[in-house]
């Protein structure tokens, strides 16, 4: 009888075992809470942009000015730095900028590559930070919960950072701090390109 039970456990599909594990460790609740926290700020930003565009300053004109004022190289360098250091500037701004350029698809592709590369760079920053005692102690206290969750859920958090409107660099930085396998970050992080494709489809339809 015990052998049959063991056989059932062994034969249990991998995805069901993962589901049970994530459910048991509170992963789904963590994702839900994160999405709730991100939802209202995102809605607020969208509404603010709509009102700003309607009553204060035309965003299309601003993007055109940005294109004419700053060089392509300067904008791309700024974007890469932002995507490496905690995603300081929303990538949507740069996606909208790419629509106003003479080669939208090319520039969008470069942005996606830079965003992906910035995340990988953040991973190594996370690894390097562990060598500094004061930084390591600070991060372990301030980001203890994130470190613990990433240790438990690994690639799923990288996936969330790659697809959802949460800073990809933070997920990769945390992964580096817990020494999560780099090859897994490289593979799962590829979903970042899917995010850029989806957002570009939405943003390009709004920007003239």
How confident is the model over 128-180, as pLDDT tens digits? 887 877 666 766 666 555 566 556 666 666 777 777 666 788 888 878 877 88
Alpha-carbon distance of 110 to 87, in angstroms, equals: 16
Alpha-carbon distance of 172 to 174, in angstroms, equals: 5
5: in domain: no
101: in domain: yes
Which two structure tokens, joined as six digits, stand for 73?
A: 């190289």
Per residue in 60-108, pLDDT tens? Answer: 666 767 777 788 899 999 999 989 987 778 888 898 899 888 889 999 9
45: in domain: no
127: in domain: yes
12: in domain: no
23: in domain: no
188: in domain: yes
**Number of domains composing the chain:** 1
Taking the CA atoms of the chain, what radius of gyration do you get in angstroms?
Answer: 20
Average pLDDT, the chain: 76
Q: Can you give the length of the chain in residues?
A: 208
Domain that holds residue 172: 57-204
122: in domain: yes
């Amino acid at each position: 009888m015990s052998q049959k039970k063991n056989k059932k456990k062994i034969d249990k599909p991998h995805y069901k075992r993962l589901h049970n594990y994530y459910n048991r460790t509170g992963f789904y609740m963590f994702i839900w809470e994160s999405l709730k926290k991100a939802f209202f700020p995102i809605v607020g930003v969208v509404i603010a942009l709509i009102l700003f565009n309607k009553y204060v300053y035309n965003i299309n004109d601003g993007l055109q000015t940005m294109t004419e004022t700053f060089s392509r190289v300067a904008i791309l360098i700024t974007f890469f730095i932002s995507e490496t250091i905690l995603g300081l500037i929303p990538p949507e701004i740069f996606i909208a900028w790419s629509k106003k350029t003479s080669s939208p698809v090319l520039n969008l592709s470069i942005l996606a590559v830079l965003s992906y590369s910035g995340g990988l760079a953040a991973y190594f920053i996370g690894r390097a930070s562990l060598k500094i005692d004061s930084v390591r102690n600070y991060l372990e206290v301030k980001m203890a919960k994130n470190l613990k969750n990433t240790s438990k859920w690994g690639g799923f958090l990288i996936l969330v950072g790659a697809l959802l409107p949460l800073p990809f660099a933070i997920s990769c930085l945390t992964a580096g701090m817990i020494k999560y396998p780099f090859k897994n970050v490289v593979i799962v992080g590829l979903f970042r390109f899917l995010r850029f494709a989806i957002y570009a489809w939405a943003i390009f339809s709004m920007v003239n």
